[in-house]
Amino acid sequence: MENRLILGIESSCDETAVAVVSNGRDVLANVVASQVDWHRKFGGVVPEIASRKHLELINPVIEEALSEAQVDFEDLTAVAVTYGPGLVGGLLVGIAAAKAIAYSQELPLIAVNHIEGHIYANLIAHQNLEAPVVCLTVSGGHSDLLYFQELGDYQLLGRTRDDAVGEAFDKVAQVLDLGFPGGPAIDKLASQGEADAIQLPRPLIDADNYDFSFSGLKTAVLNYINNQQQRGERIVKADLVASFQQAVVDILVAKVTKAVRELEVEQVMLAGGVAANSQLRAELEEELSALGVKLYFPPLKLCTDNAAMIASAAYYHWQQQNWAGYDLNAEPNLKLE
C-alpha cells in the first residue's frame, strides 16, 4: 500500500504540536512543545499567553517534526489541523500555518475536531482495533459516549449536560489548592484516601439514557468544604478527593457498561485527557472483562494533546475526500455531532 503522509497540527490549548503520520496509524514524528510551566503560576491556561507562545513555537515545531520524520513538504499527501473546540487564539495560529502549507504545496486541507482526534489516538496505539466499538471520550472540556459502526462514522449516544469531567477535576483541585492540572493531582492523592469516607451524589447514574452530569457532584464537594470550614472541622483532602473520584468513576463505568449491554459490542475505547486516570482505567477494565469485553486506551503520551491523533483522524477524512476550504475558521465551541 502506498504511504499517505499527513502532517497534523494541534494548537487548541497550551500545547504546540505537529506530527507526521503514515496511513492513519504509523507515527513518523510527534513533536509537542508544552506551555504548562508558563501557565501553572496562574492556576490555569491564560488564552493570551497561550496564543503568543503558539506564534513563537509553531514554525520551529513544524521544522522539527519534518526533520524527525525525515520527509519534506513535497512528500506530504495532506495537511490536517484542529479547528475546534479550544481557545480561539491558539486555534487560529494552527489554522493559519496549515493553510499556508496546504496552499503553497497544493495539498488538501483537512479540518479535524479536537475531540475526534483523541478518539483516533487509540488506532495509533492499537493497530488491529476495528469497529464496531463504543468509545468513552472524557477531557477537560468534553464528556461524550459514542458508537462506531465503522471507523470514520460514529453515532453520538450521550454527552455531559453541564460540566465536563476534566473541568470538575480542575475546579475541585483548585479549591483544595492541589495545583494545575487538577486531574493528575487528584488521581495521585486519591490513592492515599478512603473512597467511601464521604457520601457524594452520582447524578444520572440510573437514568434511562447515556447522558452525564457532573455539575451537581462538583457543587456537592464545594458545599462539603464550605460546611467543614464553617464548623471549624478538619478536611481530610485525601478522603475527599478519593470519594469524589470514586463518584466520577462510578458514573462513567455505569454508562459504558449500559451501552455495551444494549449495543452488544465486544470492544470499548477510552479517549481524552481523563483517560489517563488510573482508577478509571482499572475499574472500567475490570467491569468490561467480566462481560467478556476488551478495553483499549492509548498510552499516556497520546492521552494528552498531541498532533499524531489529529493526523490519524484526518486520514479517514482524506479517504472520504472530506476536505476543507481556505475559508476554514476556528470554532472554539465545536461539538461532536
What average pLDDT does the segment 239-251 reach? 97
Residue 196: what pLDDT? 95
- What's the pLDDT tens digit per position in 191-241? 999 999 999 999 999 999 999 999 999 999 999 999 999 999 999 999 999
pLDDT at 35 over 90: no
Beta bridge partners of 111: 81
Residue 1: what pLDDT? 65
Domains and CATH numbers, the chain: 5-119+303-319 (3.30.420.40), 130-298 (3.30.420.40)
> Which is nearest to 140 in space by CA: 184, 178, 206, 175?
184
Length of the chain counted residue by residue: 337
> Which is nearest to 19 in space by CA: 7, 10, 4, 11?
7
Residue 37: what pLDDT? 59
- What's the pLDDT tens digit per position in 120-164? 899 899 988 888 999 999 887 779 999 998 877 889 999 999 998
CA-to-CA dists, residue 306 to 20, 24, 173, 234, 236, angstroms: 11, 14, 24, 40, 35
Looking at every residue in the chain, the average pLDDT score rounds to: 92
> Which is nearest to 32 in space by CA: 63, 61, 68?
61
Residue 73: what pLDDT? 97
What average pLDDT does the segment 103-117 reach? 95
Residue 36: what pLDDT? 59
pLDDT at 32 over 60: yes
Q: Write phi, then psi, for 80 (nearest 5 degrees).
A: -120, 150
- What's the pLDDT tens digit per position in 289-319? 999 999 998 887 887 889 999 999 999 999 9
- Percent of the chain exceeding pLDDT 70 equals 96
- What's the pLDDT tens digit per position in 176-188? 999 878 899 999 9
Beta bridge partners of 82: 112
Residue 43: what pLDDT? 62
pLDDT at 51 over 90: no
What average pLDDT does the segment 310-329 reach? 95
pLDDT at 38 over 60: no
Residue 42: what pLDDT? 57
Per mean pLDDT, which range of 76-85, 101-110, 111-120, 295-304 is the poorest? 295-304
Q: For residue 7, what pLDDT band results from cuts at 50, 70 and 90?
A: very high
- The three three-digit cell numbers of residue 326, written as one number: 481556505
Tracing cell 434511562 back to the chain, one arrives at: 208
- Per-residue HEC secondary structure of the chain comes to CCCCEEEEEECCCCEEEEEEEECCCEEEEEEEEECHHHHHCCCCCCHHHHHHHHHHHHHHHHHHHHHHHCCCHHHCCEEEEEEECCCHHHHHHHHHHHHHHHHHHCCCEEEEEHHHHHHHHHHHHCCCCCCCEEEEEECCCCEEEEEEEECCEEEEEEEECCCCHHHHHHHHHHHCCCCCCHHHHHHHHHCCCCCCCCCCCCCCCCCCCCCECCHHHHHHHHHHHHHHHHHCCCCCHHHHHHHHHHHHHHHHHHHHHHHHHHHCCCEEEEECHHHHCHHHHHHHHHHHHHCCCEEECCCHHHHCCCCHHHHHHHHHHHHCCCCECCCCCCCCCCCCC
Residue 307: what pLDDT? 96
Q: Does residue 214 contact residue 168 with C-beta atoms inside 8 Å? A: yes
Residue 130: what pLDDT? 86
